[in-house]
Structure 1
Amino acid sequence: MNIPNILTLLRILLIPVFVGVFYLPWGWANELTTLVFALAAITDWFDGYLARRWNQTSAFGAFLDPVADKLIVAVALVFLVQITPTPWMAIPAAIIIGREITISALREWMAEIGQRAKVAVSMVGKIKTTAQMMALLMLLLAGSDHELLFGLPLYEIGFVSLYIAAILTLWSMIVYLQAAAPILLEENKKEEKKEKKMTKQ
């Protein structure tokens, strides 16, 4: 257990805190909710940075880090749909959560056949994550009252950023699927050959 992994575990432990704070009956609950989410986002950056800097990467960390990210992002998206229960908020939320499930399943399958490196995190994925985190921070801070920050319409900026993140989410998914497609087709052909041999026997 090293510091990067401890930070990742801390991010998971922050999820119930995030949920509890969101439902507090206080006028400044959305500010506190945003602070907890921001803290989780900071640990996300630091655990990866420290793991590379101190050469403390591990199989456990490689598994846990993306799980922690997806969990807190999914919870935040559910909260945003609750705050603004409209199709326009549900659509990007469904796209982002659906993409994460799809890519997680793809990576698991690729790992089983020893090809996980083919679907490693790309630059598009990193840009998507940045846009997504910024959008969630602004929307959580704006809350249901659509509060302003220094005169800036946080909700409107966050809403547009969320759609940008959703578009980048689809783009990055296509990039991953294109990388995995030749391997998927090759494995499918192998399975077909095995079935034909078994049929002949």
Structure 2
Amino acid sequence: MSELTPEILLHGYSIGIFPMAEHRDDPEIFWVDPRRRGIMPLNGFHISRSLTRAIRRTSFHHTIDRDFDGVVAACADREDTWINEEIAALYGALHRAGLAHSLEVWDREALVGGVYGVTLGRAFFGESMFSRRDNASKMALAALVDRLRRAGFILFDTQFLTDHLASLGAKEISRADYHAQLDVAKRGSAAFSRPALDSLQDVLQRMTQIS
């Protein structure tokens, strides 16, 4: 791959591809265009009884864009990761340009969970998430889906479908279906930071009303 820039990275998302490295120490980056694409329907997030109880009882709180670099670093801090130094730097550049965002979950001042991704029009391209406490990543995803819905997004791309994401309501669609949805989403506009920030319990109340 030729030298990757934030502009080229964003163009890749606009045509339905995304970058990965084989592992943290591999400098080579390649483009991925899955035949089957994972998406999270914004009106189909599944909140289990156990997650409902966890959110009702939690003292955790969430923020947006408070520690983007910290979320990316935490997502890369695992034995098997596709995030190398160049990829982390590129997403940092997109974040500073207002085109990549993070949602963090905190236990007081300790960062215990989070998710980050790229925005383009009314599409959110979820990149990675992490959890250092029970249910922290699930709470982050619930808060993210709630935010995307309220901000006017219509496509939440999860790239691949994992068992974890499937248990929360994600599904797989064909490449053709994904590109059709992307074509519509990238022509609109949505503002990730627009909705007011409130509690995880408020998120739960809204999410249970639409489930």
Q: Same fold (TM over 0.5)?
A: no
Which is greater in Rg?
1
- TM-score w.r.t. the length of structure 2 is 0.27
Higher relative contact order (CA 8 A, sep 6+): 2
Hey, which of these two has a bigger chunk of strand by percent?
A: 2
- TM-score w.r.t. the length of structure 1 is 0.28
Hey, which of these two has a bigger chunk of helix by percent?
A: 1
